[in-house]
Amino acid sequence: MPLQPTTPDAATWDAFVRRHPRGHLLQLSTWGTLKAGYGWQPWRMALADASGALVAGGQILLRRLPLRLGKLAYLPFGPLVDWTDESQVSATLAALRQAARQQGAAFLKLEPGFDVPAELLVRHGLHPSPQTIQPPSTLILDLDDEAAIQKRMNQMTRRNLRKSEKFEITVRQGSRADVDQFNTLLDETGDRKAFGVHVASYYATAYDLFVPPGDAALFIASYGALDLAGVFVFRLGQQAWYLYGASRGEERQRMAPFAAQWAGIRWALEHGCTTYDLYGIPDADEATLEAEFEQRHAGLWGVYRHKRGWGGRVARTVGAWDAVYNRPVYWLYHQALRWRGRATSE
């Protein structure tokens, strides 16, 4: 019997995401709930077997385009499918493409993640997109034990960790009340380094959705009563992600960001994670990264120097791929991105 399309409820969907080998944080219904407060509409489509068990599927985020031109349909780190099973891939992509079109999408953007053959996507009518939403390249730390993790760090990072201890930095796992302080740190960091941050309510909502069930933790590093740095870390299964970080400009010699990051790594290790994704570096090969990071500072180059010291391995997703339903609208969308200088990142 062929697989049947279904629209699962949040609990059924999340149970599927958590057990799927390719399950990802950004496919949880709670991620869709977070995004629903900021212009996106989450919508789930899955394929079920004869017993009703989910086999494959994806959570799509829909967003209205300006001038009533339809919607952008976006599928981050999905679909969740066995990419070695061509018939399952074909059925899943067909169902998702049809569903996105029925929801009024002008095009569907997929970012399937790691270890997906590009030729398979081409074979199923998708084409590479000039615009990615999630950073395609990242650094991933392998988590085994603390001693081994520290051994893979470079000498400067280990030294800065020791400095944070010497200079009396303490780290606490943040409560709900600490979200306001984290937002203050984020605003200062954004002003200092000229990058955008979400509105304050975004991080408060993220805390409410992910921290109580144990899917995330906030860490604040302080010197006495002065909060100096914070990291917001998430996990699903054996994977952990460092999504948000911030620091104060003063007392930088105390190396508080290193202490906060190390607390996040230790939390992930304690919860059985085997990888820690530092989430986002410049999209370049490792040789270029190492040759140019000291001279370049714009965009993600500014954080690469800090991230590289933790001893991770460079990894790249297959990037973004689009299925287009309305070519004039798709063309206008990319013209607008070019005008805004955002053709390759958002």
pLDDT of 37: 96
- Confidence at residue 339, expressed as pLDDT on a 0 to 100 scale: 81
Integer Cα distance of 334 and 1 in angstroms: 41
Question: By C-alpha distance, which of 315, 225, 238, 319 is closest to 273?
Answer: 238
From first to last of the 346 residues of the chain, give the pLDDT tens digit: 588 999 999 999 999 999 999 999 999 999 999 999 999 999 999 999 999 999 999 999 999 998 888 999 999 999 999 999 999 999 999 999 999 999 999 999 999 999 999 999 999 999 999 899 999 999 999 999 999 999 999 999 999 999 999 999 999 999 999 999 999 999 988 777 667 789 999 999 999 999 999 999 999 999 999 999 999 999 999 999 999 999 998 899 999 999 999 999 999 999 999 999 999 999 998 999 898 888 888 888 888 888 999 999 999 999 999 999 999 999 999 888 888 764 443 3
Which numeric CATH code is attached to 137-316?
3.40.630.30
Which of 300, 13, 333, 310 is closest to 146 using CA atoms? 310
Is domain 4-134+318-339 in CATH 3.40.630.30, yes or no? yes
User: DSSP class of residue 177?
Assistant: G
SS3 state of residue 231 = strand
Whole-number Cα distances in Å, 144 to 43, 242, 261, 289, 317: 36, 17, 17, 26, 23
Q: Domain residues of the chain, as ranges?
A: 4-134+318-339, 137-316
How many CA atoms, within 13 angstroms, populate the side-chain half-sphere of residue 222? 13
Beta strands, E only, the chain: 4-6, 41-48, 54-64, 71-76, 105-111, 127-128, 137-142, 169-173, 216-223, 226-236, 239-247, 275-277, 313-316, 321-324
Residue 194: what pLDDT?
Answer: 63
| DSSP result, 38-77 | TT-EEEEEEEE-TTS-EEEEEEEEEEEPGGG--EEEEEET
Q: Same CATH topology for 4-134+318-339 and 137-316?
A: yes
Q: In 3D, which of 260, 240, 259, 243 has the Cα closest to residue 203?
A: 243
Give the residues across from 313 on adjacent strands: 140
81: DSSP letter: -
What's the predicted TM-score (pTM) here? 0.93
CA diameter of the chain: 65
Backbone φ, ψ for residue 141 (5° rounding): -90, 135
The pLDDT of residue 346: 35
Q: What share of the chain is helix, strand, coil (3-state, %, to 5)?
A: 40, 25, 35
pLDDT of 1 reads: 57
Instruction: Quote the pLDDT of residue 190.
Output: 79
CA 174 to chain centre: 21
Summarize pLDDT for 20-33 with one digit per residue, the tens.
999 999 999 999 99
Which ranges of 103-216 does DSSP label H, i.e. alpha helix? 118-123, 146-152, 155-166, 179-193, 200-210
Q: Which letter, b or e, does each residue of 255-266 get, where b requires 16 or more Cβ atoms within 10 Å of its Cβ?
A: bbbbbbbbbbbb
